[in-house]
Homo-oligomer: A and B are copies of this chain.
């Protein structure tokens, strides 16, 4: 029992709802001042943050894959401070007039962007999420309820205390940013708090996301899995294709925008695989090959080769592994993608403009690429700043879910006594 267990988060929910009103009155300059204060607080408390972080690390096996994600050191804390300042430089997504009209009866009808209200975020052991989410929510005028993993309790408690001290110094309600206890039952309370919480964002593993989706009554924005294909067309520049495929697989295999399946046009498969060969050998990529590509790779003595099973298509590898399939046409590639894609990021490498257009228009995904690595699907790369994740759903936010989508719309109707 490392945290306070009261059996309910109702007081925190109520305080969040009250703090919403404070946020609505906060101008951009004041939000920037708060974020500058948070960056400054991080920089001036490096030693204490590391001490609290060690208390968490001591409770974890250093061989656990979560250990590195949990670890904060001087340079990581400095990047956190920098990322807070980066967020403060982004345009205010609220208060934008999205449409404005005066209708025949004289009513003025304006639609403006406004904060979502109270944002609940459920995440795991990364303490950087605490700082990222808090700064994105402050800049977009939202109150946030942070439910981090119990592994990071001491670190998160200290970071949130730092933020709350900045809020208090600036004469603002400290409940704008709150850390919730980590009991499992209290997560359920958060997921069902439709009267207090406007949106829940799960950030972490697929099992966490599934749990939230299945149990939430509050609307959820999902950041889902990425099963990403790259199709090498018969007109492709094969040197370019090999570099794009290698980069999409190798540069960071553990992330959702990395490549999972290469589809290659039969006409160019031998030449293409020969060009891809040195990249994959050097990085020890394991290939799950269909029979045609298997024969070619065998003849090249490719070292890490497996026979692809049906389940290796539509599989998110998140590792130095990928599946390869030979196709007879663009149409066959499109059909494969329609059947196996998770609608995240899909790419064609081609010099045929007609094929590029057909591919980009037909493929149903958050991001479609021509002649570039799918690894670019990212808020910062797309020029949106920090992101909360990549949304693979179609409602509200699709693709990088960044500051500009932490808002909703509101209709302002002004009359002089109009009745209907």
- A419 in the interface, Cβ–Cβ < 8 Å? yes
Report how far A409 CA is from B244 CA in the complex, Å: 25
Interface residues of A in 326-381 (CB under 8 A from B): 338, 356, 360-362, 364-373, 375-377, 381
Is B107's CB under 8 angstroms from A376's CB? yes
Is B411's CB under 8 angstroms from A373's CB? no
Is B377's CB under 8 angstroms from A251's CB? no
Choose among B240, B364, B367 the residue that contacts A417 (Cβ–Cβ < 8 A).
B240
Is B368's CB under 8 angstroms from A419's CB? no
Contacts of A89 in B (CB 8 A): none
Report how far A100 CA is from B360 CA in the complex, Å: 16
Report how far A368 CA is from B110 CA in the complex, Å: 10
Contacts of A381 in B (CB 8 A): 103, 420
Is A409's CB under 8 angstroms from B398's CB? yes
Report how far A365 CA is from B408 CA in the complex, Å: 11
Copies in the complex: 2
Report how far A387 CA is from B109 CA in the complex, Å: 17
- Give the interface residue-count category, chain A: 35 or more
Is B396's CB under 8 angstroms from A251's CB? no
- A17 in the interface, Cβ–Cβ < 8 Å? yes
Given contacts A376-B413, A411-B399, contact A419 B371 (CB under 8 A): no
Distance (whole angstroms) from the CB of A140 to the closest CB of chain B: 13
Distance (whole angstroms) from the CB of A411 to the closest CB of chain B: 4
Report how far A330 CA is from B160 CA in the complex, Å: 34
Is A416's CB under 8 angstroms from B371's CB? yes
Is B411's CB under 8 angstroms from A377's CB? yes
- A150 in the interface, Cβ–Cβ < 8 Å? no
Distance (whole angstroms) from the CB of A41 to the closest CB of chain B: 30
Distance (whole angstroms) from the CB of A95 to the closest CB of chain B: 10
Report how far A351 CA is from B411 CA in the complex, Å: 20
Interface residues of A in 1-60 (CB under 8 A from B): 17, 20-21, 24-25
Given contacts A411-B377, A420-B251, A420-B376, contact A395 B199 (CB under 8 A): yes
Report how far A338 CA is from B21 CA in the complex, Å: 11
Interface string of A186-212 (1 = CB under 8 A from B): 000000000000110000000000000
Lowest 6 CB-CB distances: which A-B pairs, in order?
A372-B415, A247-B419, A394-B408, A367-B411, A395-B396, A240-B417
Between A and B, 30 residue pairs with Cβ closer than 8 Å are A20-B364, A24-B361, A24-B362, A103-B383, A107-B372, A107-B376, A109-B382, A109-B383, A117-B364, A221-B395, A243-B419, A244-B417, A251-B419, A360-B412, A366-B410, A366-B411, A368-B411, A368-B412, A369-B415, A370-B415, A371-B414, A372-B413, A372-B414, A372-B419, A373-B418, A375-B420, A377-B411, A395-B408, A398-B410, A399-B410
